């Protein structure tokens, strides 16, 4: 049963881009810098034909919660633009345990679990207002300058997110080139997928992936599922992407390349196992 059938938009639903949970607000949440929780309500336009939220919608909630956490401890988006410094997502592992229906209220709780030089990792729990887990995401972020080059995390920012130095280095996806010599599908990056940094939004690649799954006879709304994405190179509006999608024993994979053959994103999708659920 979709979560939306159990939890609808009512007094427990909160605002669309809500404040800290339990009415705490950003100021109170900022005192707990290790965690931050934000509430969302699934919109009609974020749902697929079956009425369930698309994976890209959940990923957008997770990213928005990270931005809000940063702002709550003194680093709003305006700070990044004024300093010419930015966090870019390098890798995502998104787990969706069940279909989440239109109108459902969802809480996303985020925390920084490790940092090293110019890299940080966030763990994110997606749960209903009663604390029941319905998904989660692990995200690796890279701190960069305005040109996209890695930049050391400022000491003051490290102190704002009190975590121990990471022992585990950033991981890389093990997705090889597509088998054989398939003909790619071509798509042009639309302007509406560009974010404030001028690059294609990270969640747009999930839509690009799911749009191709039907050609493989796969249902993009099947749950439970795990998506993994590795972002290799940003693209801008008007770039043409060659999208290769193929089946694997555990699910499906995708590589998208720009005109010179450079890979810009790798992704895979496979069924989640019960032990992965929180």
Sheet of strand 133-145, all strands in order from the earlier edge strand to the far edge: 36-41, 105-116, 119-127, 133-145, 85-96, 225-231, 263-270, 251-257, 240-248, 185-188
pLDDT given at position 273: 63
Residue 267 has pLDDT above 60, yes or no: yes
Helix (H, G, I), strand (E, B) or coil at 46: helix
Of 112, 99, 122, which is closest to residue 52 (Cα–Cα)? 99
What percent of the chain is predicted at pLDDT more than 70? 83
Q: How far is CA 240 from CA 3, 184, 190, 201, 243, in A?
A: 37, 12, 10, 15, 10
Residue 203 has pLDDT above 60, yes or no: yes
Considering only 28-37, 90-99, 114-123, 157-166, which range has the smallest mean pLDDT?
28-37
Alpha helices in the chain (DSSP H): 25-30, 55-72, 77-83, 155-160, 202-213
What residues contact residue 242 under an 8 Å CB cut-off, 6+ apart? 184, 185, 186, 256, 257, 258, 259
Quick one: tokens of 196? Answer: 């404030």
What residues contact residue 215 under an 8 Å CB cut-off, 6+ apart? 245
pLDDT in tens, 118-138: 999 999 999 999 999 999 999
C-beta of residue 52 within 8 angstroms of C-beta of residue 100: yes
Considering only 1-15, 65-79, 120-134, 143-157, which range has the smallest mean pLDDT?
1-15
Residue 28 has pLDDT above 60, yes or no: no
Quick one: tokens of 193? Answer: 């997928």
Using DSSP bridges, classify how beta strands 133-145 and 85-96 pair: parallel, antiparallel or unpaired: antiparallel
Quick one: tokens of 253? Answer: 């994979």
First to last CA, the chain: 18
């Amino acid at each position: 049963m979709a979560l939306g059938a159990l939890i609808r938009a009512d007094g427990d639903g909160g605002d669309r881009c809500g404040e800290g949970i339990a009415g705490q607000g950003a100021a109170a949440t900022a005192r707990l810098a290790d965690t931050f929780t934000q509430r969302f309500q699934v919109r009609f336009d974020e749902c697929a034909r079956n009425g369930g939220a698309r994976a890209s919608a959940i990923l957008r909630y997770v990213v928005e919660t990270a931005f809000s956490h940063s702002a709550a401890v003194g680093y709003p988006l305006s700070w990044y633009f004024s300093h010419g410094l930015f966090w870019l997502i390098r890798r995502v592992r998104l787990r969706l345990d069940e279909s989440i229906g239109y109108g459902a209220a969802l809480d996303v709780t985020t925390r920084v679990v490790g940092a090293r030089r110019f890299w940080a990792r966030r763990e994110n729990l997606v749960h209903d207002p009663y604390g029941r887990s319905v998904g989660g995401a692990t995200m690796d972020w890279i701190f960069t300058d305005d040109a996209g080059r890695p930049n050391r995390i400022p000491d003051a920012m490290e102190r704002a997110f009190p975590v121990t130095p990471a022992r585990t280095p950033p991981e890389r996806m093990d997705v090889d080139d597509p088998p054989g010599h398939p003909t790619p599908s071509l798509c042009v990056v639309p302007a509406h997928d560009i974010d404030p940094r001028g690059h294609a939004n990270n969640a747009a690649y999930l839509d690009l992936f799911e749009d191709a799954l039907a050609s493989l006879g796969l249902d993009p709304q099947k749950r439970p599922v795990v998506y993994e994405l590795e972002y290799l190179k940003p693209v801008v509006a008007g770039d043409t992407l060659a999208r290769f999608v193929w089946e694997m024993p555990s699910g499906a994979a995708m590589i998208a390349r720009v005109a010179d053959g450079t890979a810009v994103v790798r992704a895979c999708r496979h069924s989640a196992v019960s032990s992965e659920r929180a």
